[in-house]
Amino acid sequence: MAALSHMAPMIIAIDGPAASGKGTLGKRLAHHYGYRHLDTGVIYRAVAKGLLDEGFDLTDEARAVAVAMELDPESFGHPELKTQRIGDAASVVSAIPSVREALVNFQRQFAADPPGAVLDGRDIGTVICPNADVKIFVVADPQVRARRRTLEALARGEAADEAMVLADILKRDERDKNRAAAPLKAAADAHILDNSNLDIEGGVRAAIAIVEAVRAGRGSSR
């Protein structure tokens, strides 16, 4: 058993398309293992909201980079960040390479602190933490994702039309997959987890099984 493997913080990278359950899973895995959790989508949403609030265009690169560099993590809990409008805007602003670069250090620093961290997003396993101990790429049928996201919005008291939510999800996935900078894709060494037919508990159990299998294979007790 490699003694050094006990010293480095454990990193679990979760990526996947819109509304696939990354955040829910990330939060639950972090709780299970006593690690910290970062929903990196919130960061891009906060940049988009910052730009829109100031009246700037989403393609104003200089201003977008400035907003990204001035981000206050205290603002990540703002309820407006969860809206479809901001999610869509986030997928426009996140395609700007310099905006992504401005946010790399924050994410890597979060990942580096002991005892371990779970980060979820689009490029965690491919760009932010390519050496993550465990990489999970979460997928679910688009219709299933649209249904879940619609129910989530309705539960918050917002109006939501499932067909429109589906269209938004598909449009965002296409944009995220086809951009040049850090496109949405599974890392070569990611474990694909399809939760279309699993409830939240089932998805969490499947993910824990993946983490445990990887750890057992590496002889680590972290």
Ligand X SMILES: Nc1ncnc2c1ncn2[C@@H]1O[C@H](COP(=O)(O)OP(=O)(O)O)[C@@H](O)[C@H]1O
Ligand Y SMILES: Nc1ccn([C@@H]2O[C@H](COP(=O)(O)OP(=O)(O)O)[C@@H](O)[C@H]2O)c(=O)n1
The SS3 call for residue 140 is coil
Residue 40 CA to residue 29 CA, distance in Å, equals 15
72 binds ligand X, rule: CB under 6 A: no
Residues numbered 49-108 forming contacts with ligand Y, rule: CB under 6 A:
87, 90-91, 94
Please identify which residue in 12, 13, 23, 124 interacts with ligand X, judged by CB under 6 A: 23
Please name the amino acid found at residue 111: A
Residue 188 marked in a binding site? no
> Is residue 24 annotated as involved in ligand binding?
yes
Q: How far apart are CA 27 and CA 46, in angstroms?
A: 19
Region binding ligand Y by CB under 6 A among candidate stretches 4-12, 62-70, 118-126, 196-204: 118-126
CB of 172 to ligand Y, least distance (A): 4
Contact 14, 118 (CB under 8 A): yes
Query: Looking at 19, 93, 124, 165, which residue binds ligand X (CB under 6 A)?
Result: 19
State yes or no: residue 125 binds ligand X (CB under 6 A).
no
Q: Check: CB of residue 129 under 8 Å from CB of residue 184.
A: no
Among 122, 135, 148, 191, binds ligand Y (CB under 6 A): 122
142 lies in the site for ligand X, by CB under 6 A: no
Q: Is 121 annotated as a binding residue?
A: no
The reply to whether 91 sits near ligand X by the rule CB under 6 A is no
Candidates 198, 220, 14; CA nearest to 117 is 14
Give the C-alpha separation, 138 to 119, whole Å: 13
Residue stretches of the annotated binding site for ATP:
16-24
